Structures are given as C-alpha cells and as structure tokens.
Amino acid sequence: MTDRGPEPARRDERSGTWRRGVDLPRLLRGVAGVDETLLRRVWHERARHTSLGGVILGTALLAAFSMWVAVNQVLGRVSAWHLFPALLWFLFIINFDRQLVTSMAGGVRRVGPLLARLALAVMFGVVIAEPLVMRIFETAIEQHIREERSGQLDTLRTSLLSCNGEKTATAEDTSASQDCRQYLLSFETTPAAIRRELAGTRTEAAALQKTVDKDTTALNGLREKAARECTGGGGTGFTGRSGNGPRCRQRTAEAEAFARSHPIEENGRKHSELRGRIVVLEQQLSTAVANFEQDRDRKIAERVEEERSHQGPIGFLERLAALHELTGSNPALFASTWAIRLFFIAVDCLPMMAKFFGGTSGYDRLYRVRSESTERIFVDETSTDERRIADRYSADRDDIDNQARMRRAEHELRLQEHQVSLRARRDVAVNDLAAKLLRDPGPESRSGTAPSRSPAGANGTGGLNGRSVL
C-alpha cells in the first residue's frame, strides 16, 4: 500500500497526456504552512488543511480591504496608490495568521498559549474591524459631519455678527467681552465717529433750542407787559394810564435791554445751522452704516469661507468621533455597530479558532513525531560532531607534544655532540703542544745536560703528563 495520495493533475488536450498545472489547493495549504511531504502520509486530510488556508487567505483579504478603506478615509480621497499599504498589510496579516496556526501544529492545546494568541487576534481584529464599521455607516457619518460643520459655520457667523456691531467694531471701544475676543474684525472706517458727531450736534441743538425758547418766551413777556402798560391796561403792577409815560418807557427799555443781552436771533440762526448739520450727518450716517454693514458682511463671509477651507476632506478621526456621537445618542445604532464589530473580530480570529477546535489531526501527530525525531537526531549529530572535534583537537595536542619532545631531544643531541667536539679539540691541542716541546730541547739540552723523558715519551706514545693523545 502506498503512502502517497492522489496528486492533482490536468489533461493536456493536445497531447492527451496528464500534466501538473496550477494547483490552487496546494497554494492554499502553503498559506496555512503545511508541509506537503508530510501531508502525503495522511493525504485524506488535504481538504481540512486546504480549508484552513482558505480561511487565512480570506482574513488577510478582509484586512487588506480594511487598510485600503482606512487609508482612503485618512487622506480623504480614493487612489490606486493606496493599494500599496493595503498589500503590505495583507502580507503582514497572512504571515501573522500563518505563524499563529503553525505554532499550534503538533503542540499540546494549553489554555495559556491559546489565550495569548486569542488576545493578539482580538487586538488585530479591532484594528481591522473599525474601518469596515465606519465604511458600512459611511452615509450617516458623513451626513452627521456635514451637519456639524454647517452648525459650526452658522455659530461662527452669528458670533461674528453679534460681536462686530458699531460699538465693538470701533478701535476706540475696548469694552468687548471675553467671549468676543476671538471674533473681532478690523475695519478701516466705521460710522461711530459720525454717530458721535451727530449725537453731539443733536444735544447742542436741543440745548440751544431750549435757550432760544426760554429767551423768546421771556422777551415776549417783557414786550407784552410794555405794550400793556403803554396802552393803559390795568392790573397789578400797571398804572392803567395809556401813553408814553415813564412806566411805559421803563418797560420798553427793559424789553430792549433783555433783547440786547440775549442773542435770540443769533441763537436762532445757529439752531437753524445745527438743524441743517443734523440733516447732513444723518445722511452721512446712513451711508456710513450701509458701507460698514457691507464691509462687515464681506469680512464675515471671508472669515467663514476661510474656516470652511480649513475643514478640508472628512478624515479618519473625524469619522471616528462622529460614529461615537451617533452611537451614543442612538441605542439601536450602538447595538448594530458592536454586532458588526464583533463579527469582524470573530472573522479575524477564525484561523486560530479553527485550528484549536479542530483537534489534533494525523498531520499534527506526524508533525510532532518528526519534530521530536529531528531534535533527537540533531542532538546526536551535535554530540558526535563534538566528540569528533574533541578527538581531533586531542590528537593535535598529542602531536604538538611529540614534536616538542623531538625538538628537545635533537637539541640535547646537538649539545652532546658539541661537548664531544670541544673535548676532542682540547686533546688535539694538548698533543700538539707536547709534540712541540719534544721537538724543541730546552736550555738544559744546550748546556750538555740531556733532558729527562717521561715513561710515556720514552715509549714513543707522544703523550704528556701520562695522558694519551687518543
């Protein structure tokens, strides 16, 4: 019975032969980190591991789509360049899930490592789920953000209008409240000066009118009394006699003196001039107010437009805050968002949970057996290599010791030879000296006395002091 299961193949229509093609199940099993050479022993489990690879690929594709959506939301536009970070995130997630699954292959299902892997999967699931949740509720989120932005612009416009009246718009006015500090606008000209001049002119005209009315009333009273006195009118203080008498002349003189001391006509002309000035100032004020309001509306529109330009595209954080506000005010939406969020988190945890709850397969048992066998073989190989290297080093040390002993023996031999050579040279020198002394007689021989010879010299050995040459 063979241990290899059927291999996927396809038929070549031209040649009629079967040849291998693109094996998608094999690729999916490769995504799950399955060793095909080991899986051939339990070929009936191929479908199981193929499905596991499909789950890992699905979660990676979901994560890539989530990253693409998140990048689009952050930058506020859709671009093909955003596929590059999505591809990187796809590769990272697919390798992360593959590492979680392969780390559980052949191992004992312990609760501690499972919870650690589950915590990591949940963390990544939250990161992946949030952009997808915002994508699902994108219409409501964008509508809420637009309404909020429009409300902010309306509030700004209202604040600018209320804080830039004629009193707060003038540079001389410093009574603006703390709430209006950031809403004040600057104007080159305002109607405040004309309004102040108009108010002063009206006050002056009113005061002058009172003076003129008072003086006119008094003068008319004096003249009426003088006329009554001159016409002989009766009453208290009047003489009752007509004609230009003393009392008539007196009262007439009093009326004329009062008219001379009180410039009623001049004050009347001044009042008329003031009334004309008031009319002119009222016209100027009306024009200035219209110009001021037009200038203020233009500046307010510019300020509002500037604020609108600062808002820019709707970003990721703004969407996140809008989603939080919507879910906080709507319990049904809150429940829906969390249901969708938990669904995506569960999908991201599927590879690890499928591997854990699938139990120990035949592939896992073979994987564990081969892993333990590989470890034992490695330990034996390492121990053998260690002993081999140790023996080689020991032999090298012995060789080094032998070489050292041989060098020391050679040095001792050369020293002995040198010593022998020195003794031989010394004996030769002694023999040469003795022979020379025998050939050259001393003073005693020249005086007729024969020198005495030693026994060694007598027997012809050529020695001196009883020592042989050899």
Contacts of 30 by beta carbon, 8 Å cutoff, 6+ apart:
53
Pure H helices in 137-191: 138-163, 166-169
Domain residue limits at 191:
151-317
The pLDDT value given to residue 194? 79
- Within-domain flag for 378: no
Asked if residue 297 and residue 170 are part of one domain, the reply reads yes
- Within-domain flag for 470: no
Asked if residue 213 and residue 113 are part of one domain, the reply reads no
> Percentage helix, strand, coil, to 5, in the chain?
75, 0, 20
Torsion of CA 23, 26, 27, 30, to 10 degrees: -160
The pLDDT value given to residue 463? 42
Asked if residue 215 and residue 171 are part of one domain, the reply reads yes
Long-range contacts of 125-128 (CB under 8 A, 24+ apart): 125/344, 125/345, 125/346, 125/347, 125/348, 125/349, 126/341, 126/345, 127/66, 128/62, 128/63, 128/66, 128/93, 128/344, 128/345, 128/348
34-83: per-residue pLDDT in tens?
Answer: 888 888 888 888 888 888 888 889 888 988 888 888 888 777 777 888 88
Domains held by the chain: number: 2
Asked if residue 128 and residue 31 are part of one domain, the reply reads yes
- Within-domain flag for 72: yes
Of 159-168, 402-411, 438-447, highest mean pLDDT: 402-411
Asked if residue 254 and residue 221 are part of one domain, the reply reads yes
Asked if residue 204 and residue 180 are part of one domain, the reply reads yes
Asked if residue 161 and residue 91 are part of one domain, the reply reads no
Cβ neighbours of 98 (radius 10 Å): 19
- Within-domain flag for 446: no
390-439: per-residue pLDDT in tens?
Answer: 999 999 998 999 999 999 999 999 999 999 999 999 989 998 888 888 88
Share of residues in the chain with pLDDT > 70 (%): 82
- Within-domain flag for 466: no
pTM of the model: 0.50
- Within-domain flag for 15: no
Asked if residue 173 and residue 42 are part of one domain, the reply reads no
